[in-house]
């Protein structure tokens, strides 16, 4: 092999190929970037915000109530959605007077969930006033923080555990909104 070609392979092609493989590995198994497309999570996340989602922790423990989660949309697995997790399999969820009620108790110990006003939607199957919904085992109930403008579990139902991608952990764009997401 020609020495110049050998030099190019060793000094340029090998490191670039290794960087690409490493980046794909990290994106597939550890962290992935997402862009917020809609207003469904306002004011927490605004259209155009860019976030990082970690994909590891849910392999070792269950998500927590209040986590901002990214998942494969139940009606089209090619689309990724982002919402706030409010209910777990086996629980009963109800929206009444703007509050989330789980198993008959108002959620008032989570600052974001307790601080949001959640709307009922009588035209959607899972968000009607006075109709508690039982969440199937192995599934989650998720809502947008901006529930007046969010299509979420009230409309299309539950997120299966196997469709969970990960937890939003960090907003990195725009620069004036950089922060850790809680």
- Cα dist from 168 to 80, 139, 151, whole Å: 13, 19, 19
**40 an active-site residue?**
yes
Q: Could you tell me the two tokens for 20?
A: 């690409």
Q: Which one of 55, 83, 147, 153 is the catalytic residue?
A: 83
Q: Which one of 10, 35, 40, 153 is the catalytic residue?
A: 40
50-67 burial, b for 16+ CB within 10 Å, e for fewer?
A: bbbbbbeebeeeebebbb
Beta bridge partners of 140: 88, 159
**78 an active-site residue?**
no
Is 77 in contact with 131 (CB distance < 8 Å)? no
Which amino acids are annotated catalytic?
40, 83
């Amino acid at each position: 092999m020609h020495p110049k070609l050998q030099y190019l392979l060793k000094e340029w092609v090998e490191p670039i190929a290794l960087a690409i493989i490493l980046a794909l590995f990290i994106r597939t198994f550890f962290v992935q970037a997402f862009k917020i497309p809609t207003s469904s999570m306002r004011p927490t996340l605004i259209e155009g915000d860019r976030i990082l989602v970690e994909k590891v922790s849910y392999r070792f423990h269950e998500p927590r109530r209040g986590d901002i989660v990214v998942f494969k949309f139940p009606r089209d697995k090619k689309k990724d959605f982002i919402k706030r997790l409010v209910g777990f399999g086996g629980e009963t969820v109800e929206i009444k007077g703007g509050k989330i009620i789980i198993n008959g108790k108002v959620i008032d110990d989570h600052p974001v969930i307790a601080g949001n006003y959640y709307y009922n939607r009588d035209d959607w199957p899972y968000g009607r006033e006075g109709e508690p919904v039982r969440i199937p085992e192995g599934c989650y109930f998720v809502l947008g923080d901006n529930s007046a403008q969010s299509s979420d579990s009230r409309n299309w139902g539950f997120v299966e555990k196997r469709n969970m991608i990960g937890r939003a952990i960090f907003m990195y764009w725009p620069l004036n909104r950089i922060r850790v997401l809680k």
